[in-house]
Chains A and B, each alone.
Chain A
């Protein structure tokens, strides 16, 4: 029993000390290892940012080459993982595919401590799992990974069987960088709770995938598209949104516990959307304007900001990803942050075991089976 008060959602409770990323909600800044996200997003490759999250500094040329080589070398699934992937029904949710196949890919005979090489291997496998399953669903043969392509380019190549344009590759790369880490979000926290028992890296990642799947976390970008499809046109936005509000329909892609100002990732994604997906942008920017207006009217005290998922949807659509691959692609970026947090947790560990407050009845005696009514 504890004398402390229950804190719903652990809001405001400091659960970890971290040097990996910081969400500066007051100033709308996301920091990776000291760098502001806006300085990294369109300048750095996903590989460089992964190195930054794992090692705490940006790589030099030879370190980057070594990392790229290690990633390329682990893009192939193990035989058990390929068999397991084929054992799942073709209409399985890709997040469940990812959760299951990452679990198989990482099985071990003996418990191993989390390491950077293991983090690299896991990161390398995510696009392969997603691309293989996507093609299987379409009845297409799997595409072998291309050693000469970077992480983002290879993902698209394995999905489509053709090389994507530099603009598309760059957009996916930026998306992956933007989503790579974000403080103590629910999936990262799940990974740290699992790591705190001294469990292995794969276990922590599998748990994190499970958490990211939830619609209150990573499961929302597809819902943004679905809502925009319902709204249909910019002209219809005001009517649809006001009407939806009366029916207590939640606006998808708005609100965040931490940011008090515009999410810096959303800002970058919005600009990308404007360039790459004008049709989406015209509708989405109108919907955003009206939605923010309505939300402000309802709760003038609340900073109802557009969140990262809103414009993610448009960027991922422009990249050509089917909407059921939005959340798994989020995972393909976030796996770097998850594993960096696991390494940090393991380096200075204490089991995460909070308390609960009992709200059940006072102790009483059980009746034997025959005497129960």
Chain B
């Protein structure tokens, strides 16, 4: 047996062509070999999803077909709807998503994951997220709009009004940027579930469950909460110095893989200037000081800003309340999760690592209950 590598750091658990995080050079490559910064100016979320699923960008007719297929799969079925309406409106939106996706995908017999299912699952996320949001506010869920793109429909499902082109574009860019990211914990969870021959819904439910954790998808909310505590650019120095003295962790900094500035954070930082000018000012000052403090504390560490930090600013600018951040992250990442599951089917082998025993010496005899 090999050495124990906590967190499986450095262990290669899959071969993939879906995406590559080139941490040393600060590059994120999506399937087909495209750098994220090259894709963002030319593709919508639907095109990025198509790319992750097929390995090629769609042409106009392929894109139209995908848009239509997604638009027609936006409604909840009876199980999904019944389950949604059964849940207390104050429930954590990630729990709503986990549960309703599970019910929506409940089936009679075990089916092998398919692309059609991946498309349908991706299409329905905004419906669930929008409904979770509206129910929290005591409002009824809305019907999806089949004439809107994926990002615009998400905002519609939340607010019940058509978003400005600008807002829809910010959300769309965010969705493109977060759609895949190598073998992160939620994607890995999806691949482990898939490795047993289970169905696509089970894989996606497992991935949602993993994304919920504050050490993963919950980090965007943590970054925004920190910015709320900082309050203003003028207060940043005082707050960060004091927080550091209290050993409080700065949210939105550091990543296991990137050794340089996260390319997604760079793009979001630029958008944040227009999307949320005031919060951008606070965030920019916070970033500057946080990086300085972290560098002084650990000069050896590449303590770069991560995607969550600037994502929290852009999502705020797009009008997405912070309690929905993780669900919007999931709304993007579901295309990556499903692409990984579909990829893994071509060479399915159960993922079953080993463990090291650190318990008592085996073979002790149990005492009878009365003698314990």
Contacts and interface: CB of A to CB of B under 8 A. Distances in A.
Nearest to A193: B189
Given A214-B193, A358-B20, A36 B350 contact: no
Nearest to B99: A103
B210 A199 contact: yes
Nearest to B365: A39
Contact of A104 (B14, B16, B38, B86): B86
Interface in A310-347: none
B12 A4 contact: yes
B188 interface: yes
A12 B2 contact: yes
A92 B107 contact: yes
B57 A372 contact: yes
B334 interface: no
A56 B85 CA distance: 40
What is the interface residue range for chain B against chain A? 35 or more
B60 A372 contact: yes
A112 to B, nearest CB: 10
Contact of B354 (A14, A97, A202): A14
Given A100-B83, A199-B213, A357-B14, A186 B195 contact: yes
Contact of A58 (B31, B205, B372): B372
A83 interface: yes
A189 B196 CA distance: 12
Contact of B59 (A11, A100, A358, A373): A373
B352 interface: yes
Interface in A17-50: 17-20, 22, 24, 29, 31, 33-36, 39-40, 43-44, 48
Contacts of A305: none
A193 B210 contact: yes
Interface in B108-132: 108-110
B370 interface: yes
Contact of A14 (B2, B96, B110, B366): B2
B231 interface: no
Contacts of A357: 12, 14-16
Given A6-B15, A199-B212, A207-B209, A22 B110 contact: no
Contacts of A203: 95, 98, 208-210, 212-213
Interface stretch (A145-153, A167-175, A363-371): A363-371
Contacts of A198: 213-216, 218
A34 to B, nearest CB: 3
Contact of B98 (A39, A197, A206, A368): A206
A239 interface: no
B182 A360 contact: no
B56 to A, nearest CB: 8
A89 interface: yes
A372 B58 contact: yes
Contacts of B138: none
A9 B14 CA distance: 8
Interface stretch (A123-131, A273-281, A348-356): A348-356
A275 to B, nearest CB: 23
B266 interface: no
Contacts of A200: 212
A265 interface: no
B296 interface: no
Given A14-B4, A83-B82, A365-B38, A36 B362 contact: yes
A300 B110 CA distance: 34
Contacts of B194: 214
Given A92-B107, A211-B192, A356-B12, A197 B352 contact: no
B88 to A, nearest CB: 6
Q: Which of B7, B103, B192, B213 has the most CB of A within 10 A?
A: B192
Given A40-B366, A59-B372, A353-B7, A19 B360 contact: yes
Contacts of B107: 92-93, 96
B213 A197 contact: yes
Interface string B195-207: 1111101110110
Interface in A46-67: 48, 56, 58-61, 64
A361 interface: yes
A35 B366 contact: yes
Contacts of A368: 42
A6 B15 CA distance: 7
Interface string A254-296: 0001000000000000000000000000000000000000000
A5 B201 CA distance: 30
A196 to B, nearest CB: 6
Most buried by A among B23, B90, B215: B215
Given A6-B15, A214-B196, A360 B33 contact: yes
Contacts of A20: 359
A302 interface: no
A18 to B, nearest CB: 5
A356 B13 contact: yes
Interface in B50-65: 55, 57-60, 63
Given A103-B99, A103-B102, A18 B355 contact: yes
Contacts of B110: 93, 213, 215, 219
Contacts of A31: 357, 359, 362-363
B10 A2 contact: yes
A242 interface: no
Given A4-B10, A187-B196, A109 B90 contact: yes
Nearest to B362: A31
A217 interface: yes
Which 9 pairs across A and B sit closest by C-beta, in order of nearness? A214-B196, A197-B213, A87-B82, A210-B202, A19-B359, A203-B209, A360-B17, A207-B206, A34-B360
Interface of A: 1-2, 4-20, 22, 24, 29, 31, 33-36, 39-40, 43-44, 48, 56, 58-61, 64, 79-81, 83-84, 86-89, 91-93, 96-97, 99-100, 103-104, 106-111, 183-187, 189-190, 193-200, 202-204, 206-207, 209-219, 257, 350-370, 372-373
